[in-house]
Structure 1
């Protein structure tokens, strides 16, 4: 199972880590930490050195209830960062976390390699056709509503079946627009309460009916720290535990704040599989 990133085939039969680089002031865990070029480059170098295959840059906070920002503001935040990273790390594979087609287009033109869309095209009718024209890998996530409304949209009759139906429709739409490399993200924490998040993780292998790589974004999320009655800053051990389960259920990409620990998970799970 491979995806083509800027002419290089990335083999996802061995799971990979995607390091998170938030350039928003209000992300739930690391918002506002990376304010200048030195901090951004230092954190990126750290994640690459620790083994990240991808660096995922987000300039629009998608935490529940986050403030909406304009397209112009998102563009102003993210494009200089892509340019900065490509200048320092020419071989870097930058993933751009955006639901806006114009941001996607401009980001790829600036040197990004793939698009990570929390809405799978639902928040911008031009996104899927734009990605198809760009001929790049596309991460599509399951979510209902918007970051501002999703907390109130966690009603499901059958969570897993509804997520699978959603992806069946979205994958078909993407294929019609010529998107070859698709990764599905079930959207832990997006329009799902804590109980539903654990139900999703418990049944994650049922998403393999699409025969596509799965990305799991569990890092320091509320399903962990609310269950453990702690805070995001103390949720690394819980993240590692749930990442291990996700890997055992066939996850191909772990999207994480803490790359070193994710790579250790991947290394240990791989050792189980070869022994």
Structure 2
């Protein structure tokens, strides 16, 4: 399948998706860009660094933060950022949102993919929006009801999403195991509640079993500076670059097709060296 003109999965080289957050409430402040000039500059830098895709988020969905904003504001942020990125580089742009209204506005503004951390399950209108736009979807593992956090629970959630997509006529699905989004508790509706594992143990287990998830569909892994790394190593997000790269390399060795990262330049370099060594 393709995001824009970029091939994903099917034996193609691993793709790097650079993150641009235009949400000041995001957990990693180093990824936040405000205003068209900053956004355009970030997009240009990512393309020059060798990234293949850009992912724009206009509302943080981090489970441990109170981040809900009005859809109107998310649309405003998203539209401004999407247009700025598109004007500054030739990379396809994915839009990170769980809300159909925002996804629809993004599709009209030229988005090349929709990235829904809730796997088409939070907003029941999302399938219609994605199908009508004819866009590929990056679908996170998610359950609105309490679920098991282990690999089996993750596979179950993703299989449900694939079935939802198929029923809606959406054929291009990339799955995301949702590192960081299975928790015992949270402050927004975009996470899956689990009680069978500590959240950091769940993330380690799933990351070590990407090969099982890759049997379903191409896999996008977003592990960059995630909280389990900081918890295990007692590090702030801004100091988690090196362990994040290590996790990304493991994800690729285990079968990931896309790496979504805050540090596009460093990830591109690490994966290029991995390719030379394999």
Measured against aligned partners, the alpha-carbon deviations of 1:81-140 in whole angstroms (never above 9, x if no partner) come to: 112222233x22110001111211111111110000011122110101221121111000
CA distance in 1, matches of 2:101, 2:45: 30
CA distance in 2, matches of 1:11, 1:82: 21
CA distance in 1, matches of 2:253, 2:262: 20
Question: Per the alignment, do residues 93 and 234 of structure 1 end up closer, same or farther by CA in structure 2, a change over 3 Å counting?
Answer: same
Question: Per the alignment, do residues 264 and 140 of structure 1 end up closer, same or farther by CA in structure 2, a change over 3 Å counting?
Answer: same
Q: Kindly report structure 1 stretches of 4+ aligned residues shifted beyond 6 Å.
A: none
Q: Which residue of 2 aligns with 1:235?
A: 240
Give the gaps of 5 or more residues in structure 1: none
CA distance in 2, matches of 1:264, 1:55: 17
- Give the TM-score taking structure 2 as reference length: 0.88
Q: Which residue of 2 aligns with 1:10?
A: 7
Write out aligned runs for 1:14-93 (5 A): 14-30=13-29, 33-64=32-63, 65-89=65-89, 91-93=90-92
Instruction: Work out whether residues 18 and 255 of structure 1, in 8 Å CA contact, stay in contact via their aligned partners in 2.
Output: yes
Instruction: Work out whether residues 261 and 267 of structure 2, in 8 Å CA contact, stay in contact via their aligned partners in 1.
Output: yes
Q: Which residue of 1 aligns with 2:162?
A: 171
Shift of 1:207: 0.9
Shift of 1:11: 4.3
SS at match of 1:209: coil
Aligned residues: 260
Shift of 1:10: 1.5
CA distance in 1, matches of 2:113, 2:256: 18
SS at match of 2:232: coil
Deviates more, 1:191-200 or 1:9-18: 9-18
Instruction: Work out whether residues 41 and 88 of structure 2, in 8 Å CA contact, stay in contact via their aligned partners in 1.
Output: no
Shift of 1:73: 1.0
Shift of 1:197: 0.5
Question: Per the alignment, do residues 221 and 5 of structure 1 end up closer, same or farther by CA in structure 2, a change over 3 Å counting?
Answer: closer
Question: Per the alignment, do residues 27 and 263 of structure 1 end up closer, same or farther by CA in structure 2, a change over 3 Å counting?
Answer: same
SS at match of 2:55: strand
CA distance in 1, matches of 2:201, 2:45: 34
Is residue 2:139 matched to residue 1:140? yes
Question: Per the alignment, do residues 111 and 25 of structure 1 end up closer, same or farther by CA in structure 2, a change over 3 Å counting?
Answer: same
Give the gaps of 5 or more residues in structure 2: 184-198
